[in-house]
Chain A
Amino acid sequence: MSLRFSDNKLKEVQQIIARYPEGRQKSALLPVLHLAQQEFGGWLSPETMDYVAGLLQLQPIEVYEVATFYSMYKLKPVGKHLLEVCQTGPCMLNGSEAIVDYIYERLGIRPGETTADGLFTLKTVECLGACGYAPMLQQGKHYREHLTREKIDQLIASCSGQPASAHH
């Protein structure tokens, strides 16, 4: 198999497994899937999932059923910058729909779509626990809060102008 974590990442996997009692390495599945998604292109391909199954001595189906349950695991490739706009009640009260519309105006993509250059994917997501700082979106590990049209402009400019990974 061509897919493999670096030695450093393999060490990290061992540290994750050590958080749980002996024989409970299945508990490491969620954190190891996060790591795999981060390392292998921002999504979980069947190949990636099979690799994780092997690492944790699980059946592939045990990995698939988890990967398909949680919304943070992406089962299809995404753009370099994934913009996940919260659309739930409190964000809606503060104009999240206008933010989604404005991103469409700027980038020509609707939720679920990726720009032709592969730079941006737009998604709508459910409550991310930032209700007091609405409207907001998540970009990789960052929360972008109190969004305005100007802030969206800045975000797009900074993502387009300089090289950046979707995960940092």
Chain B
Amino acid sequence: MARKLLLDKAHVPGITTYDVYRREGGYRSVEKALKSMSPDQVTEEVKKSGLRGRGGAGFPTGMKWGFLAKPEGVPRYLVVNADESEPGTFKDRYLMEFIPHLLIEGMITASYALGSNRSYIYIRGEYVWIAEILENAIEEAKANGWLGKNIFGSGFDCDIYVHRGAGAYICGEETALLESLEGKRGNPRIKPPFPAVKGLWGCPTVVNNVETVAAVVPIINEGAEEYAKIGIGKSTGTKLISACGNINKPGVYEIDMTISVEEFIYSDEYCGGLPTGKKLKACIPGGSSVPILPANLLLKTAKGETRMMTYESLADGGFASGSMMGSGGFIVLDDSQCVVRHTYSLARFYRHESCGQCSPCREGTGWMEKILWNIETGKGKLSDIDLLWDIQRKIEGNTICPLGDAAAWPVAAAIRHFRDEFEWHVLHPQEAQTRNYGLMHYADPIHVPNSVMA
């Protein structure tokens, strides 16, 4: 049984209320930090824990905190990124809905470390009811002295506010999020300056994902060393994985990063396998932006090693034969699914969500969507497949923010691993309207040439 640090208490009856949360040991990390640690000691502890950003990029959290500029007389801000809109990802929603005080507790401790007296939760606008749950939790925390002025005589002031977005994937990108929090369109900013120097209202700011901030609680309670003992290598601690698609038990699972992908998919403790009679065709292990992998490369790396649910193992092989942990949005496709149609759906998503600032992304995402639709509906040409490859190459790396890459990678990976399915659509336009390509040879090991471009 895996160890749970975030969700172990999530289903205690009444845990959304302050009284039950406190009775179950809640807010101990704030007590410990305020009474016995300096802000820098809290940051040090987070550094030592090896915690990496849980939003998608996997950047070391303690290091990010260490970059925060601290000029005299200028306020600093902690902003929690609860915009959660990467397709396949619904873990933060789960945490906030079932154990909201864990996020508030983590925020107070993190705000103390960073010197933020006013911290914000930027939550996606559609999560209306979760914003209400969080506002209740904040009020309860305040009524019990954990927020406000001079918290328990420590001299530290902190307030937390919830800010609802209004429907825009791009606002999950931290500088777009800050623009949105300032009441503007969510257009990402050119970096540098980084938010650590110039963030919210031009002040030094740390933007962290919900799960990242929640993880600060067990790190402070149990100590960085205990936390870092869980996991393999640089993948320390536990990770929330939201599993969806064609599996028996979709849902949010907290894993310690020591299990294999195969165990995660087929074990009854997690996804519970695929529906009867269906076979695993492909999987996007870390949210829609990361490369899709065919079944054979998902369960084993190109070197034939067991692929594990860790940052390193999921990325093993680079983009030629690997993928990424990303946001932990684990999407499974069975053999009745069409990779072309699915890729089209994702391309449509990125076209819709492109903010329009950068031409390669604004134009390219629309072209990719149209070309994929043509191929899917039997109007494609073989040269369209190369054209798609060309377009995605020209988007990747040529935009202000990573949405360009996020739009390019799914298309690139689909063509890289499923090119014959695209070609079949072009060569058999009539048949492709009546049935799907199916599994074909994907269940068997396929040769991955060294020359495949990353």
Residues of A within 8 A of B (CB): 19-21, 24, 26-31, 33-34, 62, 65-66, 69-73, 87-90, 92-94, 125-134, 138, 141-143
Contacts and interface: CB of A to CB of B under 8 A. Distances in A.
- Specify which of A27, A93, A141, A142 lies most central, judged by the most chain B CB atoms within 10 Å of its CB: A93
B126 A138 contact: yes
A135 to B, nearest CB: 11
Nearest to B332: A93
A27 B181 contact: yes
Interface in B20-42: none
A26 B346 CA distance: 33
Given A90-B88, A94-B246, A126-B353, 6 more contacts: A21-B75, A26-B182, A90-B87, A126-B87, A131-B87, A132-B252
Interface stretch (B220-228, B337-345, B397-405): B337-345
B129 A141 contact: yes
A27 B252 CA distance: 33
B245 A127 contact: no
A31 to B, nearest CB: 6
Contacts of A88: 87, 288, 345-346, 348-349
Contacts of A126: 87, 169, 348-349, 352-353
B12 interface: no
Interface stretch (B51-59, B183-191, B314-322, B430-438): B183-191
A101 to B, nearest CB: 15
A87 B349 CA distance: 9
B163 A131 contact: no
B183 A30 contact: yes
Given A89-B88, A93-B333, A131-B90, A30 B245 contact: no
Contacts of B167: 70-73, 125
Given A26-B182, A88-B346, A72 B166 contact: yes
Contacts of B163: 19, 27, 30-31
B67 interface: no
B244 A134 contact: yes
B366 to A, nearest CB: 14
Interface residues of B, number: 55
Given A27-B182, A34-B125, A132-B242, A89 B87 contact: yes
A31 B131 CA distance: 12
Given A88-B346, A93-B333, A132 B90 contact: yes
B372 to A, nearest CB: 13
B49 to A, nearest CB: 27
Query: Which 6 A-B pairs rank lowest in CB-CB distance, beginning with the nearest?
Result: A70-B166, A71-B167, A29-B183, A72-B167, A132-B250, A26-B183
Given A30-B164, A65-B185, A88-B345, A132 B118 contact: no
B183 A132 contact: no
A69 B329 contact: no
A115 to B, nearest CB: 23
B307 interface: no
A54 to B, nearest CB: 15
Given A70-B165, A88-B349, A132-B250, A21 B118 contact: yes
B180 interface: yes
A20 B129 CA distance: 22
- Pick the most buried of B129, B182, B244: most chain A CB atoms within 10 A of its CB: B244
B89 interface: yes
Contacts of B87: 88-90, 126-127, 131
B324 interface: no
Given A24-B201, A31-B163, A129-B85, A92 B125 contact: no
B337 A93 contact: yes
B168 interface: yes
B349 to A, nearest CB: 5
Q: Which of A28, A70, A73, A130 has the most CB of B within 10 A?
A: A70
A65 B182 CA distance: 13
Contacts of A73: 166-167
Contact of A89 (B161, B185, B331): B331
A69 B341 contact: no
A142 B384 CA distance: 41
B164 A89 contact: no
Interface in B113-136: 118, 124-129
Contacts of A143: 126
Nearest to A18: B161
